Structure 1
C-alpha cells in the first residue's frame, strides 16, 4: 500500500456515518483552522484508539478490552513467566518488547485500519467496520499458520470443512465478546470455557446423542480425546526461533523450517473445561536460547512447560488419515508423539505429554 493511500479518506460512506460527525480533531487531535500540513499535524494522534478515544462512547467494550488477550498479550507473558524467573525478567522483557509486541491490537487496528503488523493504513477509506474485515484484520495477523490451515494453503492439505464447504468467516465462531475480553479475565487463550466449542448451540449439539450414527462418537472416544484428535489434518509445527538485530540495528527473527504433521499426546492443559486425556499437540518455536542476543540463560526454567503444546488446528475434516479405520490410529506410532519425535534437548520439557508404545 502506497504511503498516501494509507491515509486517504476516500470512502464516501464514511462522510455519511455517525463517526464522521465529530470531525477529525475530536479523535485525532492536531491543530484546527490552519492550512499548512505541518501546523495542522502538531499534536496529531495517529491511532486514537490506543488511548481512550473509543472509551468516550463505547464504555463497556473499552473497559473489558484493556484486559483482553488481544490488548495485553497476557498469553505470551504467562508462558514467559513460567520459563523465566525474577532475576532474568527485565533483560527478557527488553527482547520481548522489541520483537514480540507487534501483535498487540487496538480497536482501530481491527475496525478502521490494517494492523500495525501489516504497517498500518486505512482498510476501507476510514469507514468504521462493526465486523472487521477477515482478510485484513484477522488473517493479517493470524496468517502464516491459521489462514494457511483454514483456507487450505499448505501443500497437500485441504482447507477446513467449515471454510471449504460452508464458507464460515472467523467471527462466526470467534465472537466480539471473546475478542473484547467480555467473557472474563484470561491469562491464556485456553483458560476457562472453550471459546468457541464444537458442541455450542447451533453447531454440533447432537454429537454422541441418540441420533448420532457415527460409531466412534461413543462415550469412550468422546471422554478420552478432543474432537481434533480424530478430525485435525496435518498442521504446521515450528522450531528454533531466535531474535536479534542486524548490523543496522533492525530487529529480525529466524526459525528452522516448519513441518506439517499430526501428533497426538497427553493433554498438558487438562481441566474441567478440557477434560480429555488425549489431544493433538503442536510444536511451538521457542528454544532455550531464543532470547540469547539479549542475555545468557534468560529462560532458566525452560523445562517448566512443554514445547509440544495443546492445539486446536484450524483445518478440521470429517475424514482424516487417523480416523480412516480403527487400526489407522490404534497401534500406529505415526500419529502419536513419541520420544523419537522430540529433540533430545526437549525431552525433559515434554516428558508429561509423550506417549509410549504401551499407551497407544
Structure 2
C-alpha cells in the first residue's frame, strides 16, 4: 500500500468502510472476522454509497454479468440449463469483472495484485488493467507482440489505449441488459472516426465495390490467435490463423467477417455434468471476431486476388473437425470468391 492512499478520498472512512472486519479487535484473527477481501464483488455495498448511478448500470453490464457467454451456453444447454447453470456460475462466471478489477487491483483470474499501491485508478491502465484479462489474444495483437507482425496502427501511430475506443460509459453499461457485446449500443464503430469509409458514396473504390458485404477487419486485419491456441490443455502450441467466413448473426449489417475458433466441445461439461449440451449444434464454434491488429495496408488491400480465389484464408467445410461440422454449417464458405 502506498502512503498516499492513507490520505486519499477512498480511505476517508477507513479500511473497514469497504473491507468490513473488526478494526477494534485486539488480535489479528479477531480483526479479520467478517473481512471482505474483494468488496466490489458486491458493488452496492462497497461502491454504491458514493457511485449509486454507476453501480446500477454496472450490474447489467457485459463485464459484470458475462451475459454473452451465458446466453450461448443457454442455447447449447436447452432444457438442461437449470442443471448447467450452477456449473456455469462456478466456472465461466467466476471471472466476471467488478469495479475493483479495473480500478484497484488486477483480476483474481490473473492472480490479483494491486495496480498502484491501493490507490484508485480512474482510467484503467492498459496492460495492468485490461491486459490481465485480455492479454492472451488482444494484448499481443494490439501491441505487436506476435513475432513478425506490427502493432495495431492505432497504437503504433497514436498510442491510443483501450479506453480511447472503449470508454467508461461503454464499460459501465447504460442499464440495458444487452444479450451480447455485438448488441451494445455504445460499442466502438470504425465509422465514428472514419466516416469516409462508409460504402455509400465512398471515394475509396474498394469500399464502394464491397458495399456492406464485408466487415472492415476482413481487409484491414493481420493474422491472429484462435482461442484453442491456449485452451486445449497442457502442451498446446500457439499458432496464428486468419479465416474469413459468413456471420451467424441475424442482425449483422454484413455477410462476411473474420472468424475465431472457440474450442467448445460437446463433452466439455462431462466431468461435472453428463450430456450438458444436448443442443450443442445450435451455436457455431467459429465466431465473429474483431482482431485488434488493424493496419491501413495489408495483403488484401494490395490486390483483389490476395483474397479472391485464395482458398487458404477462407473457412471451408474441410477445415472443420467433423464433430463441429453441423454447428458451423452456417458460417463456412460453400464457395470461394473467384479470381478477378
TM-score, length of structure 2 as denominator length: 0.91
- Over residues 174-205 of structure 1, what are the superposed CA-to-partner deviations in whole Å (9 max), with x where a residue is unaligned? 011111112632121112446100011xx212
User: Is residue 300 of structure 2 the alignment partner of residue 322 of structure 1?
Assistant: yes
> What residue is the counterpart of 2:322 in the other structure?
344
Moved more, 43-52 or 205-214: 205-214
Moved more, 34-43 or 16-25: 34-43
Structure 1 pair 229/178, CA: closer, same or farther in 2 (3 Å)?
Answer: same
User: Is residue 239 of structure 2 the alignment partner of residue 227 of structure 1?
Assistant: no
- Helix, strand or coil: the match of 1:265? strand
User: Is residue 2 of structure 2 the alignment partner of residue 24 of structure 1?
Assistant: no
Cα deviation, residue 240, structure 1: 9.3
Q: Does the CA-based 8 Å contact 1:280-1:311 persist in structure 2?
A: yes
For the aligned residues, what is the CA RMSD?
Answer: 2.3
Q: State how 1:60-99 maps to structure 2 within 5 Å.
A: 60-86=53-79, 88-99=80-91
- Supply the distance in 2 between the matched residues of 1:58 and 1:79 (Cα, whole angstroms): 31
Q: Does the CA-based 8 Å contact 2:104-2:121 persist in structure 1?
A: yes
- Helix, strand or coil: the match of 2:190? coil
Structure 1 pair 239/27, CA: closer, same or farther in 2 (3 Å)?
Answer: closer
> What residue is the counterpart of 2:241 in the other structure?
261
- Supply the distance in 2 between the matched residues of 1:93 and 1:74 (Cα, whole angstroms): 12
- Helix, strand or coil: the match of 2:170? helix
Cα deviation, residue 96, structure 1: 2.6
Please, which runs of 5 or more residues in structure 2 have no aligned partner? none
TM-score, length of structure 1 as denominator length: 0.86
Cα deviation, residue 141, structure 1: 0.6
> What residue is the counterpart of 1:198 in the other structure?
190
Q: Does the CA-based 8 Å contact 2:230-2:237 persist in structure 1?
A: no
- Supply the distance in 1 between the matched residues of 2:167 and 2:154 (Cα, whole angstroms): 16
Q: Does the CA-based 8 Å contact 1:242-1:291 persist in structure 2?
A: no
Among 305, 308, 332, the residue aligned to 2:310: 332
Q: Does the CA-based 8 Å contact 2:106-2:113 persist in structure 1?
A: yes
- Over residues 241-260 of structure 1, what are the superposed CA-to-partner deviations in whole Å (9 max), with x where a residue is unaligned? 989xxxxxxxxx55854541
User: Is residue 260 of structure 2 the alignment partner of residue 282 of structure 1?
Assistant: yes
State the number of aligned residues.
336
Q: Does the CA-based 8 Å contact 2:106-2:112 persist in structure 1?
A: yes
Among 174, 182, 192, the residue aligned to 2:174: 182
Among 74, 92, 103, the residue aligned to 1:111: 103
> What residue is the counterpart of 1:303 in the other structure?
281
- Supply the distance in 2 between the matched residues of 1:13 and 1:120 (Cα, whole angstroms): 21
Cα deviation, residue 264, structure 1: 1.0
- Helix, strand or coil: the match of 2:191? coil
Structure 1 pair 31/296, CA: closer, same or farther in 2 (3 Å)?
Answer: closer
> What residue is the counterpart of 1:6 in the other structure?
none
Structure 1 pair 91/237, CA: closer, same or farther in 2 (3 Å)?
Answer: same
- Supply the distance in 2 between the matched residues of 1:222 and 1:233 (Cα, whole angstroms): 21
Structure 1 pair 235/143, CA: closer, same or farther in 2 (3 Å)?
Answer: same
The structure with the largest helix share of the pair is 2
- Supply the distance in 1 between the matched residues of 2:200 and 2:257 (Cα, whole angstroms): 25
- Supply the distance in 1 between the matched residues of 2:28 and 2:241 (Cα, whole angstroms): 54
- Helix, strand or coil: the match of 1:217? helix
- Supply the distance in 2 between the matched residues of 1:296 and 1:174 (Cα, whole angstroms): 39
Cα deviation, residue 233, structure 1: 0.7
Cα deviation, residue 127, structure 1: 0.5
Please, which runs of 5 or more residues in structure 1 have no aligned partner? 1-8, 244-252
